[in-house]
Structure 1
């Protein structure tokens, strides 16, 4: 518990043990800093020494607690001895003649003593029961009551983790009520919809309205394919195009470099999203990207954990299936991680390919030797198949499907377009694994970014593997352009979450971890909107409504329970807020270029400028007028409430219900 507090600002729960067991296969590749490991060794040594000291003391007779019992204050042996003494003192001996069949005086005394002893035993057992009740129920109730009178900060600091587990987490400060008295703050006015009931985000979206920020030329007779590429650990600050030449936080250390030249090239040819936010880790991006939700609020599991086969959901896969699309999910990582292999086929994807499928296809089609995955050429690593392979397999899939579509249309049949979601993997922490050819290749000099830094080795590894992943993304996009695939495909490129190799504990650099890079590429379809940069704050959960608005609403609308808006519509800058939470760190609200960080229950809040104060060194909140502070507090309360709303709805399987009664 103490090590978790020191290293991750977390308290121990047995759910952490469950998580470790479930993810033991990937434990060796977990992003744990050297400093955390060292503190673990020091903490372990201190624990062993303390245990040895206690064990030494326990060898003494006076320290033997094995026979101690709180009920000994009413020990039955003591009671019996006292009763006998009292009975003896009151006895009178009289010499009488004994006759046959008569009771002796001693027999009368025995009856009296027996009655007294019986009453004493009843009192004794009652006292024992009272002691047990106080120990097991009374005192814990008093402790919980005391916790309720304390501030959340004091409650968290003083919490006994072991006792908290025994009491079913009753010592933890409770979350805010999950009921939504009003849903209007979470459904954007540009969305036309029909609510199925009050207090619920469950609704039917029937269209979108408002002035256009950009438009995409779409033909209903020849609907485009749609591809979402989730790039592992792709943060905003790696793209010079998104950061801009002014670079007010000096993220590029005075250089004119970019870490992601390929992404920058394609973002300039599409619509760039320079102020888009996410959650962490990757499974939470699935919740946001696919279902437009604020991700499940837990440090030890996500909404996807366990597969959630019987949970009712509606998002991008369901939308495109309703529109007649074939749905594919492909990734270079193993989908057995967090039971993606159960979740994805159960929630809208016709076909799912993971690292095992990629391996088989690459060995068959590219002639890769089985031994070259983890040795030799090293095309794979603990987290899966490198991007150089998984993006090549993705490209082959798109080319083959495009040929099938062309053949169907030539025969007068419906096109059956393709909706594909692909997740890359090479840039997963700890960033050390790369194919042999790239390890030996000449790379750009990234030393201005890591020279003199405490985490220099980690930063260097990250930048090199980020450059590799971007290079492979560029090869994929260039190939798709050459083969004519891009002219028939809407592509969304987005970081699944960010990363902070500069930090000793990664999630402490909150903007690096949650602000990501993204762009929408619609080659030949954007007209004058080509090169547009959307400056306002958006979130991954906006992609659902955006793609629905771009490709068209199916007849009769579509069902959802998300909180996103269509980025295709123009809105005033800085009016709308987005919610971006990292359960292992802080919750946050972004509005324009300001970010409010807060947590589930305490009153602590800090406000930062995301452009000029990337490192979050200056808190703007104390300097705000009272009415502005009240406005941020109001949004904070909304953020807590809607986060709790989604958690409750996942737990009770009532996401697509007006209320949770009977679910």
Structure 2
């Protein structure tokens, strides 16, 4: 049985790894020795839908949606646990916390979303006191998340004391805004970065100056390069300690970030490619008998990662997982086969609103739907890869094909979510401030 190291990088664009502008030698080395999926697309344009789909293998809006994992929803961790794995998660992302039921199936679920919790010694403390205490502590911290240089020792230590086989997931937050100049964790940089991030991603993106735009891009690049170094150091340590010999390493972005390509910053826009096209690298151990050091150019989806890993292990799936899983294993594709789909779906429910957004992408076309104003857009990607010219009225047949997909998604969401009750998720005191620091309204 093979160990699984599942490294998810929040807000990592495809071109941050694939292009020459960013220096990512360690990720390049993993890709050169593994399988590089150059056309991988996320099923979400923000963390909640992206990670819901990755950790369940289903579309984000089915079975009660992506803000909370309902009790009957099978998870990736549960399936590994079912097949004899010890499972662990170490991260600091409030969107995938135990408050939203993402801890299910993990033997270890270590999250660092709040320094002070309402359990334990402070269980009787008033909510307002906890809120102000956490806000004060967050002001003292240089980042609104745990940086990679603190996450990675925790990962390595967990692996060293855990018997094989194991499954370990982390979600690096370093590339997510507010962008710091790499690992330059000074208070001056923190204040500057958070102010600029809120201006760009929340309050007034149209007022970002050319110099501020370049600063955002430069700091994003430095964040990516910092994370690349940290991932390289982690893998070097694991190799020295003999923990990589029988381990599959997965590196994937949960979604991308926009730099005003379509009028905004961050990831609050429609599913344009700068938000959906993500790097996916899988490096298999020799026992997997997979041809490596190659690029796969066929379009694939993030929901295919879970069934691929389980298929590689010949895992026994629960009936509920088999029923709900929309993703499919990429192992046949790696053996010169092909996938069964030709349309990639991306979707989300907008935070703080009640409208839905969808994206449907083929090799040559993209169709977008914004439920807020019932707006539709279609792009001919062969002629317009930057998705600038809406050709919705020029190609009625192509439009109708996509609108069939849209109608089917609405039907599926209604059918699968019928009778499922999702509780109101009340974030603990201080979590909302943490989300606001990350640019969420």
Question: TM-score with structure 1 length normalisation?
Answer: 0.50
In the aligned structure 1, how far is the partner of 2:245 from the partner of 2:186?
Answer: 31
Give 1:550 shift: 0.8
Give 1:489 shift: 0.9
Give 1:320 shift: 1.0
Match of 1:642 among 412, 429, 437: 412
Partner of 2:176: 428
Match of 2:304 among 542, 563, 573: 542
* Residue 631 to residue 601, structure 1, CA distance change in 2 (3 Å): farther
Match of 1:231 among 6, 9, 14: 9
Give 1:383 shift: 2.4
In the aligned structure 2, how far is the partner of 1:611 from the partner of 1:392?
Answer: 45
Partner of 2:253: 495
In the aligned structure 1, how far is the partner of 2:212 from the partner of 2:404?
Answer: 39
Give 1:478 shift: 2.4
In the aligned structure 1, how far is the partner of 2:34 from the partner of 2:233?
Answer: 17
More helix by share: 1
Give 1:497 shift: 1.5
Q: Tell me, what secondary structure is at the counterpart of 2:232?
A: helix
Q: Tell me, what secondary structure is at the counterpart of 1:597?
A: strand
After TM superposition, list the pairs within 5 Å mapping 1:63-462 onto structure 2: 223-240=1-18, 256-278=20-42, 279-296=44-61, 303-305=66-68, 311-331=71-91, 333=92, 335=94, 339-341=97-99, 343-345=101-103, 347-355=104-112, 381-401=142-162, 405=163, 415=164, 417-432=165-180, 435-436=183-184, 455-462=213-220
CA contact (8 A) 2:79 2:317 kept: no
Match of 2:243 among 457, 477, 485: 485
In the aligned structure 1, how far is the partner of 2:318 from the partner of 2:183?
Answer: 49
> Is 1:595 the equivalent of 2:366?
yes
CA contact (8 A) 1:575 1:591 kept: no
CA contact (8 A) 1:231 1:425 kept: yes
Partner of 2:292: 530
Partner of 2:199: none
Q: Tell me, what secondary structure is at the counterpart of 2:151?
A: helix
Count of paired positions: 371
Give 1:487 shift: 1.6
In the aligned structure 2, how far is the partner of 1:358 from the partner of 1:471?
Answer: 27
In the aligned structure 2, how far is the partner of 1:419 from the partner of 1:521?
Answer: 15
* Residue 623 to residue 391, structure 1, CA distance change in 2 (3 Å): same
Give 1:314 shift: 1.0
Partner of 2:127: none
Runs of at least 5 residues in structure 2 that lack an aligned partner in the other structure: 117-136, 189-207, 351-355, 424-441
* Residue 602 to residue 519, structure 1, CA distance change in 2 (3 Å): same
In the aligned structure 2, how far is the partner of 1:578 from the partner of 1:352?
Answer: 31
CA contact (8 A) 2:182 2:222 kept: no
Whose RCO is larger (CA < 8 A, sep 6+)?
2
Q: Tell me, what secondary structure is at the counterpart of 1:589?
A: strand
Q: Tell me, what secondary structure is at the counterpart of 1:485?
A: coil
What does the per-residue CA deviation read over 1:499-524, in whole Å, with 9 as the maximum and x for residues that have no partner? 11345523347221222111111133
Q: Tell me, what secondary structure is at the counterpart of 1:569?
A: helix
Runs of at least 5 residues in structure 1 that lack an aligned partner in the other structure: 1-222, 241-251, 360-372, 406-414, 441-449, 654-663
In the aligned structure 1, how far is the partner of 2:186 from the partner of 2:32?
Answer: 27
> Is 1:505 the equivalent of 2:264?
yes
Give 1:569 shift: 1.5
* Largest Rg, 1 or 2: 1
CA contact (8 A) 1:274 1:518 kept: yes
* Residue 276 to residue 358, structure 1, CA distance change in 2 (3 Å): farther
Partner of 1:630: 400
* Residue 437 to residue 601, structure 1, CA distance change in 2 (3 Å): closer
What does the per-residue CA deviation read over 1:104-142, in whole Å, with 9 as the maximum and x for residues that have no partner? xxxxxxxxxxxxxxxxxxxxxxxxxxxxxxxxxxxxxxx
Q: Tell me, what secondary structure is at the counterpart of 1:559?
A: helix
Q: Tell me, what secondary structure is at the counterpart of 2:331?
A: coil
Q: Tell me, what secondary structure is at the counterpart of 1:635?
A: helix
CA contact (8 A) 1:537 1:590 kept: no
In the aligned structure 2, how far is the partner of 1:339 from the partner of 1:320?
Answer: 19
In the aligned structure 2, how far is the partner of 1:546 from the partner of 1:275?
Answer: 16
Give 1:538 shift: 2.1
* Residue 528 to residue 502, structure 1, CA distance change in 2 (3 Å): same
* Residue 260 to residue 621, structure 1, CA distance change in 2 (3 Å): farther
**What do you get for the CA RMSD once the two structures are aligned?**
3.7
Q: Tell me, what secondary structure is at the counterpart of 1:353?
A: strand
* Residue 458 to residue 602, structure 1, CA distance change in 2 (3 Å): closer
What does the per-residue CA deviation read over 1:524-583, in whole Å, with 9 as the maximum and x for residues that have no partner? 346562123222222221112111211113288773302111111235579522211244
> Is 1:469 the equivalent of 2:227?
yes
More strand by share: 2
CA contact (8 A) 2:57 2:304 kept: yes
CA contact (8 A) 2:148 2:230 kept: yes
Partner of 1:12: none
Q: Tell me, what secondary structure is at the counterpart of 1:303?
A: coil
CA contact (8 A) 2:22 2:224 kept: no
Question: TM-score with structure 2 length normalisation?
Answer: 0.72
Give 1:358 shift: 11
Partner of 1:30: none
Give 1:293 shift: 1.8
